[in-house]
């Protein structure tokens, strides 16, 4: 069987996701060994976990991750690179932390599309 025939959900099968998971697993194992008695393992495991987060983030920013939410089935798979990552993904914390903010679809700035709660005063009707 080749891949995604068994389900219709995109579960983030990306290079960034799998690489980060592998490195984080190694970090958790090191920390576990540290808890069991080898004290340097706790600190080494913590350092490897931080490295896993940074690796995943770097791979996401270079296009080997995916935007938040489901992707079309044609984009599923490990070898699919996301070329829109350079501009930033909407609602993506990783892209926002890197300073990447996609342009609004309408071309207007977000400040112009904001709705305010206060309304202009309405003139009272004149009495004759």
pLDDT band at residue 5 under the 50/70/90 scheme:
low
Q: Span 41-63, mean pLDDT?
A: 95
When comparing pLDDT for 4 and 126, which is higher? 126
Per residue in 40-68, is it b (16+ CB within 10 Å) or e — as a string? ebeebbeebbeebeebbbbbbbebbbbbe
pLDDT for position 127:
65
pLDDT for position 115:
40
Cα gap 54→31, rounded to integer Å = 18
The answer to whether the beta carbons of residues 54 and 77 sit under 8 Å apart is: no
Cα gap 11→76, rounded to integer Å = 9
CB atoms within 10 A of CB 75: 14
pLDDT tens for 71-109 read: 777 767 666 788 778 888 888 888 888 888 876 655 444
pLDDT for position 73:
73
Cα gap 63→122, rounded to integer Å = 52
pLDDT for position 123:
55
**H and E: helices and strands count for the chain:** 4, 0
Q: pTM for the whole thing? A: 0.67
């Amino acid at each position: 069987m080749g891949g995604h025939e068994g389900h219709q959900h995109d579960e983030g099968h990306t290079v960034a996701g799998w690489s980060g998971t592998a490195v984080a697993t190694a970090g958790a194992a090191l920390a576990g060994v540290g808890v069991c008695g080898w004290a340097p393992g706790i600190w080494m495991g913590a350092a490897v976990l931080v490295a896993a987060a940074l690796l995943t983030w770097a791979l996401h920013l270079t296009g080997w991750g995916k935007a938040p939410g489901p992707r079309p089935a044609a984009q599923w798979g490990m070898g699919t690179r996301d070329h829109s990552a350079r501009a930033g993904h909407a609602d993506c914390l990783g892209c926002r932390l890197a300073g990447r903010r996609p342009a609004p679809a309408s071309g207007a700035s977000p400040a112009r599309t904001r709705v305010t709660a206060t309304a202009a005063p309405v003139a009272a009707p004149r009495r004759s």
